[in-house]
Amino acid sequence: MDFNIYMQDFVNQARTEINEAGFENLTTPEEVDEAFARKGTTLVMVNSTCGCAGGVARPAAANAIHHDHRPDHLVTVFAGQDREATERAREYFEGYQPSSPSFALLKDGKIQKMVERHEIESSTPMEVVQKLQSLFDEYCEEY
């Protein structure tokens, strides 16, 4: 099997998984700027094909949003795939090093907190759900 075809199948599956959970794909820097200009809270998932952490992050993202408090907006950029969009998103994550997968919680376009890769890869999906929901309780309105 051609490696590029295999990887594209994997990427498409990872995109589909997070889109079905309700996250909007941001594939250009302009889409990132437009999404981050929205008022309210925005959860950004920096998606990744990394098997270990990505396999924890996507299910955690899908499950964390089923909570009394949740972000107003759910968006995703895909590291290694939509490079320019990911780079633009990371410009908003002041004080944090690039990592993927990861989650950023923004309020009115300003970074509040991140759940970084090292916090994801050492956790179970339910532990990441709890980390995200704790952020939602602190920063988001009741849904």
Q: Is residue 105 scored above 80 in pLDDT?
A: yes
The pLDDT assigned to 67 comes to: 96
User: How much is the CA Rg of the chain, to the nearest whole Å?
Assistant: 14
- The answer to whether the predicted template modeling score (pTM) of the entire model surpasses 0.85 is yes
- Per the structure, the complete domain to which residue 123 belongs is given by 3-139
Q: What is the CATH number of the domain that holds 125?
A: 3.40.30.10
- Note the residue count of the chain: 143
Confidence of residue 24 (pLDDT cuts 50, 70, 90): very high
Which of the residues 14, 26, 35, 50 is marked catalytic?
Answer: 50
User: Which of the residues 52, 66, 91, 124 is marked catalytic?
Assistant: 52
pLDDT category, 11, cuts 50, 70, 90?
Answer: confident
- Residues 131 and 42: their CA atoms lie apart, in Å, by 16
- The residue type found at 44 is V
Token pair of 67 as six digits: 């909570």
CA distance 127 to 141: 22
State pLDDT tens for residues 27-86: 999 999 999 999 999 999 999 877 667 789 999 999 999 999 999 999 999 998 899 999
140 is catalytic: no
pLDDT category, 10, cuts 50, 70, 90?
confident
Q: Which residues are registered as beta bridge partners of 106?
A: 42, 111
Sheet holding 24-25, edge to edge: 24-25, 73-78, 41-47, 102-107, 110-115
Q: Residue 137 in contact with residue 69, Cβ under 8 Å?
A: yes
Query: For the chain, how many structural domains are there in total?
Result: 1
